[in-house]
Amino acid sequence: MSTHALNDKKIIRAWAIFDWANSAYSLVISTAIFPIYFIAYTPEIITLGGMQFTNAALYSFAVTFSYVNYSMPFSYYQVLLIIAVGESFSFICLH
């Protein structure tokens, strides 16, 4: 059992700093390090499905596809929520 207070300011500050550092690390890796690595270690021209892409374009398409694929279920769930509840919530969708 933990002996720490529930709202200990030191612990909250420590978790906030940890979260900030972890987010900064992920941001740097995904936006600065990995694209350079991907472009350096893949061929200049990549053939995929009979079409030719440059490695930089294929990386951009892959990131775009990933974000769209990740965000689509949220739109679907929003529509289901509107149908179920009968109204739109301003904190869920943008007007």
Is-above-0.85 flag for pTM?
no
How many domains does the structure of the chain reveal? 1
Answer whether residue 37 is part of any domain.
Answer: yes
Answer whether residue 90 is part of any domain.
Answer: no
Answer whether residue 31 is part of any domain.
Answer: yes
Answer whether residue 57 is part of any domain.
Answer: yes
Answer whether residue 91 is part of any domain.
Answer: no
Range of the domain at 45: 9-85
Q: Are strands 45-48 and 51-54 parallel, antiparallel or unpaired?
A: antiparallel
pLDDT tens sequence for the chain (95 residues): 567 677 888 888 988 999 988 888 888 888 889 889 988 999 999 998 899 999 999 999 988 998 888 888 777 777 777 777 766 555 555 54
What's the Cα-to-Cα distance from 10 to each of 2, 24, 58, rounded to whole Å? 15, 21, 45
